[in-house]
Structure 1
Amino acid sequence: MARLHSLELLPDEAGQAAVRRQWQALHDAGLPSQLDHRGASNAAHVSVVEAPALSSDALDVATARLGSLLPVTAVVGGVLLLGGGGGRVALARPVQLSDDVVRRVLAVRVHVPERRHHGWVPHLTLARGLDRSDVPRALEVLGDHDAALELRLASLRHWDPDAGEVTDLAR
């Protein structure tokens, strides 16, 4: 599968630290964790859209529609398991956003016809490649990290895997 460009909303420093504590707890338990991703671009984020390419029009719309709102409050709750068949899943936390933010995200996504997913489930990924048999242990490790958390999404960025660059679009 080709590496995908993405538009991402990132939490402020306090939010990054809160999510990284969850990554660390999973890592310390010997479970898969986003902490294992050693790329310089690795940061807690809510993906707006992923696609093989993002046009300058899509980037402009994202900057205008989403950048003008920042920062926005997000409520992070429970736990999600994402993934299809097979024995491995992604462990994530669902993110609730205001209707206005959701409408603006959807307005951006329509400018990306070749997007990876045609629906949008806002979430923060905690781990990829988690064996289904390890899900109960991961939930136990997260313990009170599973409690509702309020974050401020404070920046919008574009990840360009072709150039290996992250570009801040709005803060």
Structure 2
Amino acid sequence: MAESAVREAWRRLADAGLPSQALHRSPTNSPHLTLAACPELTAPIRWELAEAAAALPLPVRFTGVVRFEKPTSVLAWALDLDFALAGLHRRVWEAVASDSPPATLNPLHAPGRWSPHITLGRTRRAGAFTDRRVPELLPAPPLAVRLTTLRSYDTETGALEVLAPRP
């Protein structure tokens, strides 16, 4: 249900001529929540992420539309940063931070700065989502969904890896 709602939002933005994730044709492009990013998934990071994956599935609530403006313009559905989601995020952040050079980590993903969201559209064009039609174009986000999979995406190779709990 959540995936179809996000894809419908992507379609509506694209149909209106606005930037949309629907135009990102990579097979790895699917609705997702970015918890953190790191340059390499080392063995220690993998072990920690496998432990964090044990918290899934995790229910989360949508709170509405949010816009970000720098370094790119982003339109997204925001998620409620409740205790459980904050805990999952902290575990993932600590895993990637434990074995990555600090300069390689995105400070916007750090606990206290991270804004959980599902991206609907993104562009380098400033102010792209200030169009008054935007709220009317979007379907209502689902009230609640469950995060079910922890995955990693390698930006160099395009490989997608599901990080499952250790047996």
Counterpart in the other structure of 1:9: none
Letter paired with 1:116: N
Alpha-carbon spacing, 1:120–1:170, altered in 2? closer, same or farther (3 Å): same
Shift of 1:131: 4.7
In 1, distance between residues paired with 2:69 and 2:46?
Answer: 28
* Shift in Å, 1:20: 0.5
In the alignment, does 2:15 pair up with 1:28?
yes
Shift of residue 37 of structure 1? 0.4
CA distance in 1, matches of 2:88, 2:141: 27
Stretches (4+) displaced over 3 A? none
Check whether the contact 2:37–2:106 (CA below 8 A) recurs between aligned residues. Answer: yes
Deviation (angstroms), 1:58: 1.8
Which residue is 2:163 aligned to? 169
Q: 1:147 to 1:158 in 2, by over 3 A?
A: closer
Aligned to 2:26: 39
1:107 offset after TM fit, Å? 2.2
Alignment of 1:17-166 (within 5 A): 17-65=4-52, 67-84=53-70, 89-113=73-97, 114-117=104-107, 118=110, 119-129=113-123, 131-132=126-127, 134-135=129-130, 136-142=132-138, 145-147=139-141, 149-166=143-160
SS in 1 for 2:163: strand
Asked if the contact 1:74/1:153 (under 8 Å) is kept, the reply is yes
Which string of whole-angstrom CA distances, capped at 9 and with x for unpartnered residues, describes residues 120-165 of structure 1? 11110000016515422222211xx245521111111110122210
**Paired residue secondary structure (1:105):** helix
Alpha-carbon distance, 1:15 to partner: 1.6
Q: Distance in 1 between matches of 2:128 and 2:49?
A: 39
What SS does the aligned partner of 2:86 have?
Answer: helix
Aligned pair count?
A: 153
Give, in angstroms, the shift of residue 99 of structure 1.
0.8
Instruction: Output one character per residue of 1:87-125: Cα deviation in whole Å (capped at 9) or x when no partner.
Output: x51001111254133123212212323321233111100
The CA deviation string for residues 31-90 of structure 1, in whole angstroms up to 9 with x for no partner, is 11000101110000000101222322222212212x1122111111211111326xx510
- Root-mean-square deviation over aligned CA pairs: 2.1
SS state at 1:155 partner: coil
Contact 1:109 1:115 in 2 (8 A): no
Residue type of the partner of 2:61? V
For structure 1, the 5+ residue unaligned runs are 1-13
Q: Is the 8 A contact 1:90 1:128 kept in 2?
A: yes
Q: What is the CA deviation profile of residues 2-40 of structure 1, one whole-angstrom value per residue up to 9, with x for unaligned ones?
A: xxxxxxxxxxxx221111011111111111100010111
| Secondary structure in structure 1 of the residue aligned to 2:2 | helix
